[in-house]
Chain A
């Protein structure tokens, strides 16, 4: 029978690592030992998948019903109102958003691009339905593209960042990227409405947010491991 060289306890034949200290067990015999446990499945992951599926199917049926009702009102009853058109576009958009948020596309970058694309479709739809609204191409498109690009950059950087304490790093990211987004947002609005860019409120937002992010980052990187561990323990959720 094999023994763990570190713990001194006996383990079953064929065990690669000690169940207590994970130390490698020297392999001498080739006896096949019957497994005492099956490779365990998580009872809840299947249940959660099933529940998610049921919820999404219910939502799809509801959305389909909503679109059918509004289309009937529009085409059969001949009521051509902006509200029914907005309703149809809104339901389509909501369905696509939920499809993405339910995680049916496993790649996070594609999901973010998808959210951006649905948002573009929504604002374009609003523009088409109401000829009085003309801001979708000039303002809406750049804002959505800016937001999507910033989010993609943030995710890319977050994944590459070695120190991954989400309870500290996520707020830092939110503060930093929100301040950049505000800068871009004000620039787009200014450029479209006054023809020139003069930054005011976004700078006021940027300074405190970036300062807080910098202080947090500095504290986090320089904090002793003991305090960082305590923070992790206290604020984990």
Chain B
């Protein structure tokens, strides 16, 4: 009798995921939110059924973080996720190290379904695939089935091995030279709000207007917003002239699946960091666009990103690093991240792109939103996505000071865009 190969019920954390359990705290939770607002009220019982069915198709997400002697690892769990009614601030800490907790939660509030997920399990692409699949399954439970659609996973689809691939290891090339080190960045220095609070300010603009403006400058939407954000920070930099002045650096996560043919549901992104030193003088918007364009063109290439992947993976490869016990490794990672990660960026901007849903249900969904994870090191982060002609730009903030948001959206208004502002009312 041929013995069936025993199914592995645990897996290693990918290269980026290894960072998060060490740096996660009650303020910097590493939890981001994707939400979909429907046209009708959410039915919790149907959402629960849909969630249980769809989570079985995403075994990578139904796991529990466990401590090994040298590294953390994820162990599969049989817990069925249960949607909860939203009552706390967004992106709060997930207790996924504890028994009975998963590294994600699904929330509902009136017409809105939200997925809050730890970055240690997946990135924006993996999370949006999960949320879209959940919404499709929810509508299927309501009696509105959809045909197969790209970017949507159905519960009956077989699980492919490539979904659980650690693409960082797969595309790691040994022996590539290290990328040049980044300099210290200008920091947004504000008084924090109390632990357990997180402020969201969302601006809604028409995509066609943004596209027209981008076309005028012959750049992409992301490049346009990078330039716009730099312009905002330029104004802020001038306002806070007494601060220690350093280059302004915006960290931009790049989806590596667009460059390397990967279908992984785990993290597969790299951060690039365009920087501008405003001590050199005032930059016009056209100059900022040019800088963003040139930087993106040179940074988002297979060679440069392979170098970035190799550099990141190399950090965990040496034997002397691997044999350091986890408790000590965690402390070292914290210090290294604070000094060489967080201190090297002023803020971050993440664009998840256009969200497309199957034609059968797209009319029944009002909008999608994307909230960045809170970070006490950067204080403010921006994330954006678009759905059916509207772009949703969300600032996540750990301070009551809204100068950056005010400058950003007023500038958009001044540039001729109609902007609608919403916030979580605090």
Verify if B26 is at the interface (C-beta below 8 Å from A): yes
Question: What's the least CB distance linking B157 to chain A, in Å?
Answer: 33
Verify if B341 is at the interface (C-beta below 8 Å from A): no
Are B109 and A9 neighbours in the complex by a CB distance under 8 Å?
no
Residue of B nearest to A44 (CB): B196
User: Which of B37, B109, B413, B421 has most A Cβ within 10 Å?
Assistant: B421
Are A20 and B195 neighbours in the complex by a CB distance under 8 Å?
no
Task: Give chain A's interface secondary structure class.
Answer: loop
| Contact residues, A26-64 vs B (CB, 8 A) | 34-45
Question: Given A7-B406, A20-B409, are A37 and B201 neighbors across the interface (CB < 8 Å)?
Answer: no
Are A9 and B110 neighbours in the complex by a CB distance under 8 Å?
no
Query: How many angstroms from the CA of A54 to the CA of B231 in the assembled complex?
Result: 51
- Using Cβ atoms and an 8 Å threshold, which residues of chain A touch B197? 40, 42
Query: How many angstroms from the CA of A40 to the CA of B423 in the assembled complex?
Result: 12
User: Which of B112, B201, B418, B419 has most A Cβ within 10 Å?
Assistant: B419
| Contact residues, B375-426 vs A (CB, 8 A) | 402, 405-406, 409-410, 413, 418-426
Query: How many angstroms from the CA of A21 to the CA of B407 in the assembled complex?
Result: 10
Verify if A18 is at the interface (C-beta below 8 Å from B): yes
Are B424 and A9 neighbours in the complex by a CB distance under 8 Å?
no
Question: What's the least CB distance linking A26 to chain B, in Å?
Answer: 16
Question: What's the least CB distance linking A189 to chain B, in Å?
Answer: 44
Verify if B189 is at the interface (C-beta below 8 Å from A): yes
Task: Give chain B's interface secondary structure class.
Answer: loop
Query: How many angstroms from the CA of A146 to the CA of B22 in the assembled complex?
Result: 49
Query: How many angstroms from the CA of A236 to the CA of B189 in the assembled complex?
Result: 12
Are A38 and B86 neighbours in the complex by a CB distance under 8 Å?
yes
- Using Cβ atoms and an 8 Å threshold, which residues of chain A touch B110? 34-35
Verify if A10 is at the interface (C-beta below 8 Å from B): yes
Quick check: which of B87-95, B254-262, B317-325, B347-355 contacts chain A, the rest being far away? Answer: B87-95
Verify if B156 is at the interface (C-beta below 8 Å from A): no
Verify if B216 is at the interface (C-beta below 8 Å from A): no
Q: What are 26 pairs between A and B in contact, CB < 8 Å?
A: A7-B409, A7-B413, A9-B203, A9-B409, A9-B413, A10-B421, A12-B422, A19-B201, A19-B423, A20-B402, A20-B421, A34-B110, A34-B111, A36-B422, A38-B85, A38-B109, A40-B87, A40-B88, A41-B87, A43-B89, A43-B92, A43-B196, A44-B195, A230-B242, A233-B189, A236-B191
A residues with a Cβ closer than 8 A to B are 1, 4, 7-12, 18-21, 34-45, 226, 230, 233, 236
18 further A-B contacts with Cβ under 8 Å, apart from A9-B409, A9-B419, A34-B110, are A7-B410, A10-B421, A11-B420, A11-B421, A11-B422, A12-B420, A18-B421, A19-B201, A19-B423, A20-B410, A21-B402, A21-B406, A36-B424, A37-B86, A38-B87, A38-B109, A41-B87, A43-B92
Cβ-closest 8 pairs across A and B = A19-B423, A44-B196, A42-B196, A10-B420, A43-B88, A37-B424, A8-B413, A20-B406
